[in-house]
Amino acid sequence: MAHLSAVLATTHHPFYLKSTELTPPEQRIPQAAEWKRKVEAYRETLTAAEPDLLVMVGADHFHQFFADNYPTFLIGKQPRYDATFYNEEREFGIPTYVLEGDEDLSGFMFQGLLDRGFDFSISHELKIDHSIICPIITTRPQADLPIVPIYTNIFAPPLPSPQRFWDLGRAIRSIIDEYPSDRKIAAIGSGHLSLELGGPRQFGETGPDPVFDRKAIDWLASGDIDAILENVTHESMSGAGNATHGFMDLILMMGIAGPEKAAYVDELDLFHTREMYMTWYPEGDPR
C-alpha cells in the first residue's frame, strides 16, 4: 500500500514570489527576508519526506469555474495540468507552469470518494490556480512531481460544513492508505487563517482577527478537531473576516493527517494576514 509520507497544511499568499524575489531588494517589504527564510525552512519538511507524488488540495478563485457551474468538490484526472491564469500573472506576478498529473491515482481517488459517499465532480481539462501553485512555489519550486489536484468550495457560498471538510480529509486518507502502490505520497493543502478581501478590514496591519488566528493554529497543531467543530461555523468564520472560509481546507488537511499533533508548526505575522506552515508525518518524522 502507498506510504503517506507527509501532510502539509499552509496558508497561500499569492504575493510570496513577488515580495521575496521579483521585487528589487531595496523595494521589498521589511519582512521579506524572514518570510523567505521561514518558507525555505518549511520546504525542508517536504523534502525530507522524499515524496514521489503530491495530492494537492485547493480552491478555484473564480478563475476557471464560475457561478454558472461551480463545483462543490472536484478532482482533476489528466496527464498534465497548465497552471496560472492571465489575471494571476497580472496581479501577483506568478509564472505559468505545466505540472505532470497522475491519472491512475486520480482515478483511484475519484472512485474511492464515490464509494465513500463523496459525489465528486471530475475534470479532464482543469487549469490550476494559485491555491495549488502557491504551495508548489513555496514547498516544491522545482515543480517536478506529478500531482492529483482536489478542489473544494470555500469561495462561492453556500458552502459545505466544517464537519464535511474534516470527513473528506478522513476519506482521502483512507483512500491513500488503500492505494496499491509502494510510492511515497505527500498531501499538501492550502487555505487561510482569518482573511478579509474586498471589505472594510482588508489590508490592515495584521490579519482581521488575530485572536481567531491564535486559536486556529493551536487547534490544528494539537490535532484538536473537537475544538474546531465546537467553535468554527460559517458564521464564526465570517466574523473573523469575509474570506476566512479557506480555513476549512486546513481542517481538511488535518483530516488527512488525523487528530494528531503536528510535527512542524511555524507562522509569520505579515501585513494583512498571518501565514501558517504546518506538517504532519503519519509514518514517523524522517528528519
Partner 1 sequence: MSVYYVDKFLFQVDGDPDLLAQYKSDPAGLVDRWEAEYGRRLGTNNSIETTSWLEFTDQERRALIEHDYVTLFEIGAHFFLCLTIFIAIYDEDYVAASGPLSFQREYAAKLSHWLGKDYPTVAL
Q: How far is the CB of 235 from partner 1 (least distance, A)?
A: 9
Q: Which of 65, 96, 66 is nearest to 80 (CA)?
A: 96
Using CB under 8 A as the binding rule, the residues of this chain from 101 to 140 that contact partner 1 are none
DSSP reduced 3-state for 86: helix
What secondary structure letter does DSSP report for 232?
-
- Per CB under 8 A, 61 contacts partner 1: yes
- Per CB under 8 A, 73 contacts partner 1: no
Q: Are 177 and 1 in contact (CB under 8 A)?
A: yes
Q: Which is nearer to partner 1, 45 or 84 (CB)?
A: 84
Residue of the chain from 238, 283, 285, 287 that contacts partner 1 (CB under 8 A): 238
DSSP reduced 3-state for 194: coil
Q: Which is nearer to partner 1, 69 or 142 (CB)?
A: 69
- Per CB under 8 A, 20 contacts partner 1: no
Which span sits near partner 1 by CB under 8 A: 30-38, 119-127, 150-158, 182-190?
150-158
Using CA atoms, how far residue 239 sits from 129, 171, 208, in Å, is: 26, 29, 9
Using CA atoms, how far residue 272 sits from 18, 216, 268, in Å, is: 16, 17, 11
Which span sits near partner 1 by CB under 8 A: 81-89, 127-135, 165-173, 275-283?
81-89
CA distance 183 to 104: 12
Q: Are 81 and 134 in contact (CB under 8 A)?
A: no
- Per CB under 8 A, 205 contacts partner 1: no
Which uninterrupted H or E stretch holds 161? none
Residue of the chain from 33, 199, 230, 287 that contacts partner 1 (CB under 8 A): 199
Residue of the chain from 157, 180, 182, 284 that contacts partner 1 (CB under 8 A): 157
CA distance 40 to 141: 10
Q: Which is nearer to partner 1, 92 or 165 (CB)?
A: 92
Q: Which is nearer to partner 1, 1 or 211 (CB)?
A: 211
Enumerate binding residues for partner 1 (CB under 8 A).
Answer: 61-63, 66-69, 85-87, 90-91, 155-158, 197-204, 238, 242-243, 271
